[in-house]
Structure 1
Amino acid sequence: MNILLIRFSAMGDVCMTVPVVTAFALQHPEARFTVLSRSNFRPLYRQTPDNVIFRGVNLADYKGFWGLRRLARELAGEHYDYVVDLHDVLRTKILRTLLKFKGISVSVINKGRLDKWRLTRSFNKQKKQLPTSFQRYAAAIAKALPNTDINTLQHNAQTPQHTDIHTITRIGIAPFAKHEGKIYPLQNMMEVIKTLSERPDTQIMLFGGGKTEVEALRQWEKIFPNTTSCAGKHTLEQEMDMIKQLDVMISMDSANMHIASLLGVPVVSIWGATHRYAGFLGWQQKEEYCAEIDMPCRPCSVFGNKKCKYNDYRCMKLIKPEKVVEIVEKCLRDNAK
């Protein structure tokens, strides 16, 4: 069985495909799994089984309908038996339809959009745990492999492989996210960094991307002791090597949470406009390491991109820095090596 799996973005979502695809590949060594995604996400798939192939593309080379038609022709020539759309957006809908016309079987992820709307709507919210993205990916892939019991899939998350023996505690902090509703107020985060950077034998490592973020983290590096900014200095693969050496990562509901999770690093995640109930908590992460407060208005968004009804994202502001530090200390105690 030659299976094509499609997920182009975002980075965190592509991260979440890795342990699921790995589990299927180990359970089905006779099958071949090709993951179609953006070329720059290749390092995420660097430690998968031999029957998993990453096929990176530059989407700028396949713009519009005619570009996707050309990509579909290329893919059809690779003789896939099954296409699994793990993205279900306009681009992948067109692509999977073109491949279906060529006689290839197709399955599509059920994103649970209605349930997510019920979770985030402004009235009568149905606050309950929804299927995780991992479960949704597994259900879609299982349609191509009906002899799979998705309830017994092995857990195969990567675990940290320390290349050196260190006596200091390494704490990673990724304070940014794509949308404001997922960003812990920077002044609060600075208080967290101040407290943690004063711990004995502790190194703080800051992660982020983008010109504004890089500059902010460089300033923090100058302000706080024992603090190093890794932003804008390294490739994704190099950052992954640094992240897997961490004892804990503090992250928003963002890609860094998922990268750390993929590498087996415990994460203290901070949640505001979004909620873990939507199914995006990192692979094998614990709910007790989530910093959040219960408010009638949250979650107000699946992605954190909606304007706050109070115009202040109090769901984030009301999380005290002391609470974040308390969870970090608990996480370090629980996972002491």
Structure 2
Amino acid sequence: MAPKILIIRFSSIGDIVLTTPVIRIAKQQVEGAEVHLVTKKVFYPVVEANSYLDKVHVLNDDLNTVIKALKEERFTHLIDLHNNLRSRKIKKALKLPTKSFTKLNIEKWLAVNFKQIHKLPNIHIVDRYLETLSEFNVKNDQKGLDYFIPEKDRVDLKKLPQTHQNGYLAWVIGGSYTTKMLPSDKVVEVLRRIEKPVVLLGGPEDAENGKLIAGKLGSNVFDACGKFNINQSASLVKQASKVLSNDTGLMHVAAAFNKPTLSFWGNTIPEFGMYPYMPQHPERSTIMQVADLRCRPCSKLGYKKCPKKHFYCMKLIDADKVVEWVSAKL
């Protein structure tokens, strides 16, 4: 009987993009495998065009309805890459051979509370995800992340201002928490020294900040925050010459396209294992962080405001080095 594999990852954008090597390798290296994914409805667009998936199951608020539908599929294997209460309910209901992703909560707690960063394994989360396929004797194909943009969401650059139609930098200004976002005044400080066209990217929640930043600058900065959906934003990332980004979902989308990426790290640290994953082009990823701050990391997720009230981890980012990276030839 050919394996029929269910992969669970409910959220969010970056985490789902980081599961794509598991999806691809299961489909390509497990003979005859049928691969399904269950994810939240709001994140369905991230995987809707993924050609390695045979089917995507969408979770709304009613978990029982989803479980009923999953039972009807008669899966042979279950891969849990979320490992929370909801995913455990699915595992209990389906009663299948299961491999679950280990979250390293203890190691991260030690890193946050006692700064014992050395306790964290020196392994990217993608490789930890792939361990869940160990029984199939698969190998990491080193092809990195995938992101498939539906044709309907591919942005024609003629829709951008004429100043941006022949190339631009993409700057992802958003983030899930304030302490993971470079302050707007720091962004403005850098952009005032850059003459290249720049597109600001973020969701509807970043629209106000994008308008604030663009309003202080000239026509070389186009504010796209909240004006494009996730796949359209991914299309703009794909067509950018370089990408600057906070530790957020579009950073991983940029990695999927192997874009030269400068990532800013505030309360989180790359040692958590979720830095840009580009195994074929690791030189294209540049990490920007303030080293040797005693208060970092202060959280494995983030806060609405700096618990120390100084926000040095972002405010002390060296603007000169950012400008230097932007100016460097590809």
1:167–1:73 distance in 2 versus 1, CA, 3 Å? closer
Partner residue in 2 for 1:215:
208
1:124–1:131 distance in 2 versus 1, CA, 3 Å? closer
Conservation of the 8 A alpha-carbon contact between 1:160 and 1:264:
no
Partner residue in 2 for 1:55:
56
Matched, 1:282 2:276: yes
Partner residue in 2 for 1:184:
182
Partner residue in 1 for 2:161:
none
CA deviation string 1:15-47 (max 9, x = no partner):
111133223322235211111112333333355
Matched, 1:137 2:137: no
Between the aligned partners of 1:106 and 1:160, the Cα distance in structure 2 is: 28
How many residue pairs get matched?
Answer: 313
Report how far residue 261 of structure 1 moved. Answer: 1.4
1:159–1:111 distance in 2 versus 1, CA, 3 Å? closer
Matched, 1:45 2:40: no
Partner residue in 2 for 1:97:
92
Between the aligned partners of 2:130 and 2:317, the Cα distance in structure 1 is: 34
Between the aligned partners of 1:94 and 1:305, the Cα distance in structure 2 is: 29
Between the aligned partners of 1:14 and 1:192, the Cα distance in structure 2 is: 31
Partner residue in 1 for 2:254:
260
1:268–1:54 distance in 2 versus 1, CA, 3 Å? farther
TM-score by length of 1: 0.83
Between the aligned partners of 1:58 and 1:277, the Cα distance in structure 2 is: 31
For 1:1-337, what aligned pairs fall within 5 Å after superposition? Answer: 1-46=3-48, 48-49=50-51, 51-60=52-61, 62=62, 68-100=63-95, 104-122=96-114, 124-126=116-118, 130-143=122-135, 145=136, 147-148=137-138, 150=139, 152-158=140-146, 168-196=166-194, 198=195, 202-211=196-205, 213-225=206-218, 226-284=220-278, 285-286=282-283, 289-294=286-291, 295-305=293-303, 308-330=306-328, 333=329, 336=330
Report how far residue 218 of structure 1 moved. Answer: 2.4
SS in 1 for 2:99: strand
TM-score by length of 2: 0.85
1:230–1:306 distance in 2 versus 1, CA, 3 Å? closer
Conservation of the 8 A alpha-carbon contact between 1:221 and 1:227:
yes
1:105–1:288 distance in 2 versus 1, CA, 3 Å? closer
The gaps in structure 1 that reach 5 residues or longer are 63-67
Conservation of the 8 A alpha-carbon contact between 1:40 and 1:56:
no
Conservation of the 8 A alpha-carbon contact between 1:24 and 1:153:
no
Conservation of the 8 A alpha-carbon contact between 2:276 and 2:285:
no
Between the aligned partners of 1:35 and 1:160, the Cα distance in structure 2 is: 15
Between the aligned partners of 1:245 and 1:239, the Cα distance in structure 2 is: 10
Between the aligned partners of 1:156 and 1:288, the Cα distance in structure 2 is: 13
Report how far residue 127 of structure 1 moved. Answer: 6.6
1:245–1:132 distance in 2 versus 1, CA, 3 Å? same
Conservation of the 8 A alpha-carbon contact between 1:188 and 1:320:
no
CA deviation string 1:225-262 (max 9, x = no partner):
21111122222222222211011111111111012112
Conservation of the 8 A alpha-carbon contact between 2:6 and 2:38:
yes
The gaps in structure 2 that reach 5 residues or longer are 159-163
Conservation of the 8 A alpha-carbon contact between 2:262 and 2:287:
yes
Between the aligned partners of 2:215 and 2:4, the Cα distance in structure 1 is: 52
1:123–1:219 distance in 2 versus 1, CA, 3 Å? closer
SS in 2 for 1:195: coil
CA deviation string 1:79-137 (max 9, x = no partner):
1101111001111111111111xxx2111101122222222223554375532220121
SS in 1 for 2:182: coil
